[in-house]
Amino acid sequence: MSLADHIENNDLRNSELNALAKVRFIDEETQLALAKQPYRRAKMHLASNENLCEDARDELWDHRGYALKCDLVAAGHYVDDPQRYYDLFRSHSWRRSDWRLLRTFVNTQSWYCDKGARATPSDLLAEIYHYFIETFKNDRWNSWEWQVVNFARHPNCDLDLALLMSTSTVEKIRDAAIARIEKLTGKAS
């Protein structure tokens, strides 16, 4: 009996499903069985698995909601399919999940999810910036300023976005934008 059979027969405990989903060397049949089983945490671990096969990836993408889709994009499973980035951003409300929005599309400072975020197209990055500023500028935690700096640090931040950010009245945002402009133009101010 294969591991996939054990998964389909519900023979494994949740902790075993989690551990198995993290293993980079599991076969495609086992990955697909993990993607189809109902335990969500194991699916989250599988979405972050760097050796995820395309069939399991697509099975996870078809799951209801946006959390698994964010995990798939952040882990870099769709770097060759930029349309998935547009579809994901434009089809969901991010009001409750500013941290997930940034982790998926913007945050390139993390070892965990920077591969997918680095592939965010520059025009979508600008669209996300406008959305983020409009939605979270009056954030009750007042941490949006620090989060906006990551837009200027993003490798796909183009000159237009950096110039727009350089007009900010917030010093740390303006400084990060000016540093990006200098990097893009090769000139120091």
Residues 59-81: pLDDT tens digits? Answer: 999 998 899 999 999 999 999 99
CA nearest 154: which of 182, 121, 132, 131? 121
Q: How far apart are the first and last CA of the chain?
A: 67
Rounded average pLDDT over 24-36? 96
What tokens does 183 get? 């990097």
140 has pLDDT over 60 = no
Q: pTM of this prediction?
A: 0.89
pLDDT of 138 above 70: no
Checking if the pLDDT of 164 tops 90, the result is yes
In the block, residue with structure tokens 């390139």 = 108
d(CA 147, CA 153): 10
